[in-house]
Amino acid sequence: MAGWAAPSTPHDYAVMDVLQAVRAFSDAMDRMYGEIKGDMEMNATDLAALRMLVVREQRSKDVSPHDLARHLRISTASTSKLLDRLSASGHIERRPHPRDRRARIIVLTDEARGAFFTHFGARLRAMRGVADRYSDEELATITRFIGEICEVIDP
Amino acid sequence: MAGWAAPSTPHDYAVMDVLQAVRAFSDAMDRMYGEIKGDMEMNATDLAALRMLVVREQRSKDVSPHDLARHLRISTASTSKLLDRLSASGHIERRPHPRDRRARIIVLTDEARGAFFTHFGARLRAMRGVADRYSDEELATITRFIGEICEVIDP
DNA sequence: TCCATTTGCTAGTTTATCTAGCGATCTCGT
DNA sequence: ACGAGATCGCTAGATAAACTAGCAAATGGA
């Protein structure tokens, strides 16, 4: 994913290395989600939906079926079926929206939170262990870099 | 994905921030692939296969249908169909393995390489632009951090 | 040599997505 | 206040893509 323009200076090599690391990270994420998908006996989309719900919950943001459809890039029809599956498996509940009677709010069940952290928890702790070994300044630089990369790949 | 244990020191906050950045990065990657999937009119699995082939080609590694099945975590039967699709759309070719007459080697066509860089090229240049603004020491730290994160999430 | 294993494929089934369209509800201009 | 148009989530039916089971050809070690 990086390296088809010949590097010439040490800086070029450093840039190439970091972009290769970014690519490797993407692959590692794919494989991790693949593994967890297998462990939880879910398909990729349903797991991605669950991840979104966890993230949004931590930010105290409500999630509608429409939000899910946009994030997952599937139709709202597919989203209805997806919610049927997650509801039947006890991972989510459809709650009425307090103000808009057409709308729904999707909330995670305790079982889903438990299952999620059962499967992600060990890796999250391991990631925290990695981050702990860096200084505050280094972490700030890394955070800034990752943030900037996010902005250019998903503007 | 980070932050359910109350942080108390500046370092805790820095760790929490970087883990949130990692999570956001993962989300941004998902959305980027989703967008490219739409632009290239491919499904997620086929695009993931193409990405794997590009990465392996840059490392000069041969890819068999079996390798694809393992990486994508789909059956070899589904992989055969996937290769039929990619072959029909002109993205790949099945070549005979030089030594094992049962096996195949999957190679990208020039068209596939072109299409891939048409869709990823702008973002890759943008990422390079971001990385260029960091010092060699910073880039080394970031590369090391990302590498360590990869090891713990995909051991 | 011989037999278990590996490789990639096909056939048929199941699962998940899409398009099209519906009723209910909200929003906004008049 | 009220009607037009937009939005929300859902259903039905069609299409696409995954799965399981099993096959022949080729390999490789006992």
Token match 């960091």: residue? Answer: B134
Q: What is the pTM of this model?
A: 0.83
Whether residue A29 and residue B26 make contact (CB cut-off 8 A), yes or no, is: yes
Candidates B41, B110, B128, B153: best to mutate against A (most CBs of A within 10 A) is: B153
Query: Considering only CB atoms, which chain B residues are within 8 Å of A23?
Result: 55
CA distance B84 to chain A (A): 22
Give the pLDDT confidence score for residue A6 in this predicted structure.
Answer: 67
Query: Considering only CB atoms, which chain A residues are within 8 Å of B48?
Result: 30
Separation between Cα atoms, residue B57 and residue B69, nearest integer Å: 17
Strands A104-108 and B92-96: unpaired
- pLDDT confidence tier of residue B1, bands split at 50, 70 and 90: very low
Q: Mean pLDDT score of chain B, rounded to an integer?
A: 90
B154 contacts chain A (CB < 8 A): yes
Low-confidence residues of chain A: pLDDT under 50: 1-3
SS3 label, residue B138: helix
Q: What mean pLDDT do residues B14-38 have? A: 89
Whether residue A139 and residue B30 make contact (CB cut-off 8 A), yes or no, is: no
Query: Considering only CB atoms, which chain A residues are within 8 Å of B29?
Result: 26, 29, 153-154
Which of B17, B136, B148 faces A14 most closely, judged by CB atoms?
B136
- The answer to whether residues A129 and B99 touch, using CB atoms and an 8 Å cutoff, is no
Please, which residues have CB within 8 angstroms of residue B6's CB and are 6 or more apart in sequence? none
- Least CA distance to B135: which residue of chain A? A11
pLDDT value at B102 more than 90: yes
- The answer to whether residues B41 and A95 touch, using CB atoms and an 8 Å cutoff, is no
HSE value, Cβ hemisphere, 13 Å, CA-based, for B37: 16
Interface of B with A in 43-102 (CB under 8 A): 44, 48, 51-52, 54-55, 58, 71-73
Give the pLDDT confidence score for residue B123 in this predicted structure.
Answer: 92
B81 class by beta-carbon count within 10 Å (0-12 exposed, 13-18 middle, 19+ buried): exposed
- pLDDT confidence tier of residue B6, bands split at 50, 70 and 90: low
Whether residue B153 and residue A26 make contact (CB cut-off 8 A), yes or no, is: no
Q: Is the CB of B82 under 7 A from strand D?
A: yes
| Rg, chain A, Cα only | 19
Compute, in degrees rounded to 10, the torsion defined by CA atoms B80, B55, B149, B152: 40
Q: Is the CB of B85 under 7 A from strand C?
A: no
Whether residue A127 and residue B55 make contact (CB cut-off 8 A), yes or no, is: no
pLDDT in tens, A111-125: 999 998 888 889 999
pLDDT in tens, A81-91: 999 999 999 99
Query: Considering only CB atoms, which chain B residues are within 8 Å of A9?
Result: none
Cα of first residue to Cα of last residue in chain B, in angstroms, is 19
> Which nucleotides of strand D are protein-proximal, with an atom < 7 A from a CB?
7-13, 16-22, 24-28
Give the pLDDT confidence score for residue A3 in this predicted structure.
Answer: 44
CA distance A101 to chain B (A): 30
Which of A18, A32, A143 faces B153 most closely, judged by CB atoms?
A32
Give the pLDDT confidence score for residue A30 in this predicted structure.
Answer: 83
